[in-house]
Amino acid sequence: MNRHTPSLRALRVASPTPSPGATPAARRSRFRGVPGKVRPFVLPLLLLALFEWYARRAAALGSDALAPPSAAAKAFVGAAMDGSLWLATGFTLGTAALGLLLGAVLGIALGLVLGLSRRAAQLGSVSIEVLRPVPSVALIPLAMLGFGFGVRMELAIVAFATFWPLLVLVQSAVQQVEPRLLEVSRVLGLSARERAFKIVLPAIVPRLFVALRLGVAVALVVAVTVEIAANPNGMGYAMMIAQQSFDPALMLAWLGWIGIVGFAVNAGMLVLQRAVSRRMGAPS
């Protein structure tokens, strides 16, 4: 083997290496100098820089509406240090999660029933089509009357808002379960309960995750909206306070933070989805 190595090396040296920029592909890659992993962050950083420059100029002209990102970052650190950041974040995330849990459990349960039984679907169709389009935020006055200010009102509205997409998506997912699997469950003599938990529920897991990720987004949006409009708690309220006390830096800090939290939650859901589908035998 060793005897052949020198000749191989000689061969490699002898083979003509293409000069840089000789082929169109190589020429293009020179303009793409940024490594692939960094590329997605180029645009946000550019936008931030542009914003920084613009906001500083606006501040110099005497505007109270805008603060440069550097000031927002400073305000963010302040909020993180005094603990108000974590308190508000915890409140909003906790309420959104609980509300989603409530809405999702009910939505999945009813979606299973409506998906499995055509009679139930017919029975519920009109009620669902009438109630579903009601904007969840329009329920704030009603929920305020029923639950007062605070967690319970926000929970109820988040649950209402997440219930419908979960219901509709689970129902359609159940209707698309491989019919052969349902036949297998009949031939094996599975009970209705076993059929729901051992066949239907696992079969819809991929679609369920799509529904849940939508539900998470809806829950966050609605939670923050309710806090801005009515509930004196959480990130939405903190942002309102910052705005009302003419603190654009803190307001922007909250805005940016809410975006980051939303991004992180979605990323967490993706990780969870991948872990679950790997455990369920999906080819990785």
At 178, give phi and psi (nearest 5°).
Answer: -45, 115
- Options 6, 18, 135, 281; binder of another protein; rule CB under 8 A: 281
Of the pair 144, 205, the CB lying nearest another protein is at: 205
- Options 56, 74, 198, 207; binder of another protein; rule CB under 8 A: 198
Binding of another protein by 207 (CB under 8 A): no
Using only C-alpha atoms, the chain has a radius of gyration, in whole angstroms, of 27
Shortest reach from residue 198's CB to another protein, in Å: 7
- Options 80, 128, 181, 269; binder of another protein; rule CB under 8 A: 181
Query: How many C-beta atoms surround the C-beta of residue 68 within 10 A?
Result: 21
Query: How many C-beta atoms surround the C-beta of residue 140 within 10 A?
Result: 20
Distance between CA atoms of residues 28 and 258, nearest Å: 38
Stretch that binds another protein, among 41-49, 110-118, 123-131, 275-283 (CB under 8 A): 275-283
Binding of another protein by 275 (CB under 8 A): no
Q: Residue 263's closest CA among 220, 212, 206, 203?
A: 220
Distance between CA atoms of residues 23 and 21, nearest Å: 6
Binding of another protein by 202 (CB under 8 A): yes
SS3 of residue 18 by DSSP: coil
Binding of another protein by 188 (CB under 8 A): yes
Amino acid symbol at 5: T
> What sign for the dihedral angle of Cα 116, 119, 123, 125?
positive
Stretch that binds another protein, among 27-35, 110-118, 179-187, 246-254 (CB under 8 A): 179-187
Of the pair 175, 243, the CB lying nearest another protein is at: 175
Of the pair 137, 182, the CB lying nearest another protein is at: 182
SS3 of residue 130 by DSSP: helix
Binding of another protein by 189 (CB under 8 A): yes
Binding of another protein by 184 (CB under 8 A): yes
Binding of another protein by 284 (CB under 8 A): no
Binding of another protein by 180 (CB under 8 A): yes
Q: Residue 207's closest CA among 88, 90, 108?
A: 108
Distance between CA atoms of residues 73 and 58, nearest Å: 18
Of the pair 162, 185, the CB lying nearest another protein is at: 185
| Contacts of residue 81, Cβ cutoff 8 Å, sequence gap at least 6 | none
Binding of another protein by 193 (CB under 8 A): no
Of the pair 71, 112, the CB lying nearest another protein is at: 112
Which residues would be at the binding site for another protein (CB under 8 A)?
A: 178, 180-181, 183-191, 194, 198-199, 202-203, 205, 280-281, 283
